Structure 1
Amino acid sequence: MSAAVETNPANAPADIRPGPSPDQSVWTSDALWVPKSSHDDVEHEDAWAIDDSAGRAALSDGASSAFMAREWARTVTSRYLDDPPEVNHGSFVRWVGRATQQWRDGAEHAGGAQAGADGAWWAGESEKRGSFATLVGVSAEPGEPTPGGRGIPLAYSAVAVGDSCMVHLSQAGGRWKRIAAFPIDDPASFGKHPELVASTGARTDG
């Protein structure tokens, strides 16, 4: 998933690309994904959600072995768009609690349907163990005008658990420069057992 900022006059028709405006910054986005080896495009536990009008984006990687991992990843990303947490520990814990209840409502429905279909006793037990996923969410809003009125930059805040990352790049002179990376800024720091957001309301090591 990538998000970028372009300069463009407000309300410009989609089929017209006017020159830069001196006082507008516009958030734009693209979502890209690659399936695992020997899997098709829909066989993954990842989820992403983007709201260009609000300047928000979220990405989550569900734990492959967890119960309804894709649904949990979808829950935390969609919840971030609708109800982003404040960037502090207490707010995030409460936010996970709300996402957990949303996921449980869906899990109970899916588990009940599965059990009714084939008598699967494991559905309820799997729900109790919960599901797990990483999360990175980014929210952007207009910052302070630049000196001389050359544009309004976007200031952003981010929350993350695990090894799903946000990378801030800047282009100048045809070259890209990394400004920031969060929560991991060194490829050597990636491991096999990242922290995960759990649908049981806790945070755990994968």
Structure 2
Amino acid sequence: MTFPIAELISLPRRHGSSPDGEDAGGFDEVRGRFVLSDGAGSAFSARTWARTLVRHFINDPEAGWHEQAVASWRAGLTLRTPRTRRAAEQGSAATLVGLAMADGVGWQATAVGDSCLYVLRAENNLLPEAFPIAWGDRFPAAPELWTTGRPPRLARLAGTAAPGDVLILATDAVARWASAGPPSIWRWLATTETEQLSATLAKYRDESEIEDDDLSVLIVRPPL
């Protein structure tokens, strides 16, 4: 049995408060789990929460694990001062886009907020299918977030992948930039070598073509 192949690029924000950025990503090709999460910059310990969501999604994409994820996040905090304890009580937040593939063909996507999935069909050089923000819709100024409070409303989409299709997961900065560009940008994202893609995205950000934010892209190729 063959499995999907995944490539992850994650570039921390140049002038962010965290040297590692607030994005998190991961995948398990054998189990068919692929996910990105973008921690809300204004939230407490957002990168830790994003990483927690990624880990739990890979283990169980059905997402019936909100309480366990919150408990795991809290257990990992170091709260030495009254200020950090108060901040922890306010909780954390992140967006998420995840993909679960069965047999490398059927897939189900889950999303909260403005991290997106794009499905580029092998036989179609036009715009890919976009989820959860459809073509023509604006990216929200205040996207919905997966918080450590109550479980979120999950957007879901199911489909099938054919040989040669490419599924692209992206956090908001990359998604906004690519959505505003020409259709050819999607084929470029899908076919460029990882090292060159990472360097080019960083260059575009340095030149302010892409906003100064964490940049994460996860490219998933179904088995041939």
TM-score between the two structures when normalised by the length of structure 2: 0.62
Match of 1:106 in 2: 76
1:193 and 2:138 are equivalent in the alignment: no
Q: Secondary structure at the match of 1:33?
A: strand
| Aligned match for 1:95, one of 60, 65, 74 | 65
* One-letter amino acid of the structure 1 residue matched with residue 47 of structure 2: R
Give the length in aligned residue pairs: 153
> Is contact 1:100–1:201 with CA below 8 Å preserved after alignment?
no
1:122 and 2:86 are equivalent in the alignment: no
| Aligned match for 2:97, one of 129, 136, 143 | 136
TM-superposed CA distance for 1:101, in Å, is: 1.4
TM-superposed CA distance for 1:182, in Å, is: 1.3
TM-superposed CA distance for 1:69, in Å, is: 0.3
Match of 2:175 in 1: none
Output the CA distance in 2 between the equivalents of 1:102 and 1:189.
Answer: 34
TM-superposed CA distance for 1:170, in Å, is: 1.4
* One-letter amino acid of the structure 2 residue matched with residue 155 of structure 1: G
Output the CA distance in 1 between the equivalents of 2:84 and 2:17.
Answer: 26
TM-superposed CA distance for 1:105, in Å, is: 1.3
Q: Secondary structure at the match of 2:134?
A: coil
> Is contact 1:45–1:70 with CA below 8 Å preserved after alignment?
yes
Match of 1:161 in 2: 112
Q: Secondary structure at the match of 1:67?
A: coil
TM-superposed CA distance for 1:177, in Å, is: 4.1
Q: Deviations over 1:71-104 (max 9, x none)?
A: 000000110011221xxxxxx4x42222111111
Runs (4+) off by over 4 Å: none
> Is contact 1:136–1:164 with CA below 8 Å preserved after alignment?
yes
TM-superposed CA distance for 1:55, in Å, is: 0.8
Match of 2:158 in 1: none
Output the CA distance in 2 between the equivalents of 1:41 and 1:128.
Answer: 21
**How well do the aligned residues superpose, as a CA RMSD in angstroms?**
2.3
Output the CA distance in 2 between the equivalents of 1:64 and 1:49.
Answer: 20
> Is contact 1:170–1:178 with CA below 8 Å preserved after alignment?
no
Structure 2 gaps, min length 5 = 154-224
TM-score between the two structures when normalised by the length of structure 1: 0.67
1:24-63 aligned at under 5 Å gives the runs 25-38=2-15, 42-63=19-40
* One-letter amino acid of the structure 2 residue matched with residue 161 of structure 1: V
Which of the pair has the greater relative contact order for Cα pairs under 8 Å at 6+ separation? 2
Change (3 A) 1:158 1:65: same
Change (3 A) 1:179 1:76: same
Q: Secondary structure at the match of 2:36?
A: strand
Q: Secondary structure at the match of 1:31?
A: strand
